[in-house]
Structure 1
Amino acid sequence: MSYISKIEEFAQSCADNMADLLGLEVSIIDELGIRVSGTGFHQSLIGKSIPEGSFFEQILRTGSKGTIFDNRKDHEHCISCIFHERCTELATMGYPVMMNDQPIGVIGFIGFTAEQRDLIVTNKEKLYKFMGTISTLLENKLLLLEVTTRNCEVHEGFQQEKRAYSFNDMIGESEQFHSVVKKAKKVVNSPSTILLTGENGTGKECMAKAVHYESSRANQPFITVNCSAIPETLVESELFGYDKGAFTGANRGGKIGKFEAANNGTIFLDEIGDLPLSVQPKLLRVLQEKQVERVGGTRQYSLNVRVIAATNKSLWEMVTKETFREDLYYRINVIPLRLPSLSERVGDIRLFLSYFLKKYSHILQKNVPKLDPLLEQWFLQNEWKGNIRQLENTVEYMMNMVESPHTLTFEDLPYYLHTRQNSSSLDSMVANFERNILAQHLPLNQKEQKEQLAKMLNISLSTLYRKLDKYGLS
Structure 2
Amino acid sequence: MIDENKVAHTPELVLTDYLVSTLEKIFDPVPVPIILLDKDCKVKMINRVFANYLEFPKEEIIGKEVREVDKNSRFPYVFKTKKAEIAWKHKFENGHTGIVHRIPVLDEQGEVVYGFGMVLFEDLEEFKDIINKNKLLESELHLYKKQLQKIQGAKYSWETIVGQSEKMVQAKYMSRRAAQTNSNVLLLGKSGTGKELFAHAIHNGSLRKHAPFVKVNCAAIPAELLESELFGYEEGAFTGAKKGGKVGKFQLANGGSIFLDEIGDMPLKMQAKLLRVLQEQEIEKVGSNNTIKVDVRVISATNQDLLELAKQGEFREDLYYRLNVMTIGIPTLNEREGDIEVLTEKLIKKVSKEIGKYVDKISPKAMEYLRAHNWPGNVRELENVLERAINLVEGDTIMPVHLPVYITKKEITDTAYNGNIRSLKSIIEETEKEAIVRTLEYTKGNKLQTAKILNISRSSLYDKIEKYCIE
Q: What TM-score do you get using the length of structure 1 for normalisation?
A: 0.55
2-structure distance, mates of 1:360, 1:195: 29
Query: In the alignment, what sits opposite 2:21?
Result: none
- Structure 2 residue ranges without an equivalent (≥5): 1-122, 127-149, 421-471
- Matching residue within 402, 419, 436 for 1:412: 402
Alpha carbons of 1:436 and 1:361: their partners in 2 closer, same or farther (altered >3 Å)?
farther
Q: Is the 8 A contact 1:269 1:307 kept in 2?
A: yes
| SS of equivalent to 1:278 | helix
2-structure distance, mates of 1:436, 1:163: 50
1-structure distance, mates of 2:259, 2:230: 11
1-structure distance, mates of 2:350, 2:419: 32
Q: Is the 8 A contact 1:371 1:408 kept in 2?
A: yes
1:431 correspondence with 2:404: no
1-structure distance, mates of 2:394, 2:331: 34
Q: Report the residue type matching 2:208 in the other structure.
A: R
2-structure distance, mates of 1:287, 1:197: 20
Count of residue pairs brought into register by the alignment = 277
2-structure distance, mates of 1:283, 1:163: 22
Query: In the alignment, what sits opposite 1:381?
Result: 372
1:340 correspondence with 2:331: yes
1:203 correspondence with 2:194: yes
1:323-368 CA-partner distances (Å, limit 9, x unpaired): 1111111111111111001000031010111112222333333332
1-structure distance, mates of 2:213, 2:360: 37
Q: Report the residue type matching 2:248 in the other structure.
A: G
Q: Report the residue type matching 1:238 in the other structure.
A: E
1:433 to partner: Cα distance = 4.5
| SS of equivalent to 2:357 | coil
1-structure distance, mates of 2:219, 2:418: 42
1:403 to partner: Cα distance = 1.2
Alpha carbons of 1:308 and 1:406: their partners in 2 closer, same or farther (altered >3 Å)?
closer
Q: Report the residue type matching 2:392 in the other structure.
A: M
1:195 to partner: Cα distance = 0.4
Q: What TM-score do you get using the length of structure 2 for normalisation?
A: 0.55
Alpha carbons of 1:281 and 1:163: their partners in 2 closer, same or farther (altered >3 Å)?
closer
Q: Is the 8 A contact 2:157 2:204 kept in 1?
A: yes
1:141-167 CA-partner distances (Å, limit 9, x unpaired): xxxxxxxxx9x99xxxxxxxx956432
Query: In the alignment, what sits opposite 1:253?
Result: 244
1-structure distance, mates of 2:318, 2:397: 57
Alpha carbons of 1:374 and 1:406: their partners in 2 closer, same or farther (altered >3 Å)?
closer
1-structure distance, mates of 2:415, 2:357: 29
Alpha carbons of 1:197 and 1:319: their partners in 2 closer, same or farther (altered >3 Å)?
same
1:192 correspondence with 2:164: no
Alignment of 1:58-69 (within 5 A): none
Query: In the alignment, what sits opposite 1:175?
Result: 166
1:183-204 CA-partner distances (Å, limit 9, x unpaired): 1111213111100000011111
Q: Report the residue type matching 1:432 in the other structure.
A: T
1:171 to partner: Cα distance = 0.6
1:371 to partner: Cα distance = 2.6
* Cα RMSD, aligned residues only: 2.8
Q: Is the 8 A contact 2:185 2:326 kept in 1?
A: yes
- Matching residue within 256, 264, 270 for 1:279: 270
1:362 correspondence with 2:343: no
Query: In the alignment, what sits opposite 2:317?
Result: 326
2-structure distance, mates of 1:224, 1:436: 50
Q: Percent identity?
A: 43
Alpha carbons of 1:321 and 1:100: their partners in 2 closer, same or farther (altered >3 Å)?
farther
Q: Report the residue type matching 1:347 in the other structure.
A: G
1:241 to partner: Cα distance = 0.7
1:269 to partner: Cα distance = 0.3
Alpha carbons of 1:171 and 1:297: their partners in 2 closer, same or farther (altered >3 Å)?
same
1:233 correspondence with 2:233: no
Alpha carbons of 1:191 and 1:405: their partners in 2 closer, same or farther (altered >3 Å)?
closer
1-structure distance, mates of 2:221, 2:314: 18
Alpha carbons of 1:354 and 1:438: their partners in 2 closer, same or farther (altered >3 Å)?
farther
Larger radius of gyration: 2
Q: Is the 8 A contact 1:271 1:312 kept in 2?
A: yes
1:401 correspondence with 2:392: yes
Q: Is the 8 A contact 1:226 1:271 kept in 2?
A: yes
1-structure distance, mates of 2:251, 2:166: 38
1:296 to partner: Cα distance = 0.8
